């Protein structure tokens, strides 16, 4: 009972999902294909694992595009190569579009300090203020946040 957590505590847990070990990465691609009667050659598996470094999402995306590129079983390294540009385009349109790193500019930091000083009564953190300034500059209207600060600044908040 001592380890029980509230719904809110469970809701905001984000376990890290790192790369799979090579053997597990091989199985993640080969087993679902085999279940459908399709073989993936060792060279194809090696290339997919090399390109994805074993990250589960990338394994799925690369595996899907190799499957789509193959005319028949077995899926070989040529299929993986033919699928390379479509796999990259799909990742750019989905994963890399949603997750991006944007460095704060000097003007962002200056504007954030101004907001921080002017909003001291709201108990915003400096990090909040940098986020607000950059979200406005980038046209981002929704934040994933656990406090009311983003809502107070007029942003939509998830969850």
pLDDT in tens, the chain (159 residues): 456 666 655 566 666 778 899 999 999 999 999 999 999 999 999 999 999 989 998 899 999 999 999 999 999 999 999 998 898 888 777 766 665 678 899 999 999 999 999 998 888 999 999 999 999 999 989 888 878 899 999 999 886
Would you call 31 exposed, middle or buried from its count of C-beta atoms within 10 A (0-12, 13-18, 19+)? exposed
Outline which parts of the chain fall under CATH 1.10.8.60.
18-98
Reported as a single tens digit per residue, the pLDDT across 123-147 is: 899 999 999 999 999 998 988 887 8
CA-nearest of 97, 99, 98, 106 to 133 is 106
E-strand ranges in the chain read 142-144, 156-158
Q: Is the peptide bond prior to 11 cis by the omega test (within 30 degrees of 0)?
A: no
Whether residue 74 has a cis bond before it, omega within 30° of 0: yes
Is 0.85 surpassed by the pTM of this model?
A: no
Q: What is the CATH number of domain 18-98?
A: 1.10.8.60
């Amino acid at each position: 009972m001592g380890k029980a957590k509230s719904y809110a505590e469970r809701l905001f847990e984000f376990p890290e999902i790192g790369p799979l070990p090579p053997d597990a990465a091989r199985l993640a691609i080969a087993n679902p294909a085999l279940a459908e009667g399709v073989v993936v050659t060792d060279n194809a598996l090696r290339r997919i694992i090399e390109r994805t470094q074993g990250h589960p999402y990338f394994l799925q995306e690369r595996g899907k595009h190799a499957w789509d590129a193959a005319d028949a079983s077995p899926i070989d390294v040529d299929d993986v190569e033919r699928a390379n540009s479509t796999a990259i385009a799909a990742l750019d349109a989905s994963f890399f579009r949603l997750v991006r790193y944007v460095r704060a500019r000097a003007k962002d930091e200056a504007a954030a300090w101004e907001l921080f000083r002017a909003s001291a009564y709201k108990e915003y953190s400096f990090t909040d203020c940098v986020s607000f300034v950059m979200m406005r500059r980038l046209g981002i209207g929704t934040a994933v946040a656990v406090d009311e600060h983003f809502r107070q600044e007029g942003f939509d908040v998830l969850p």
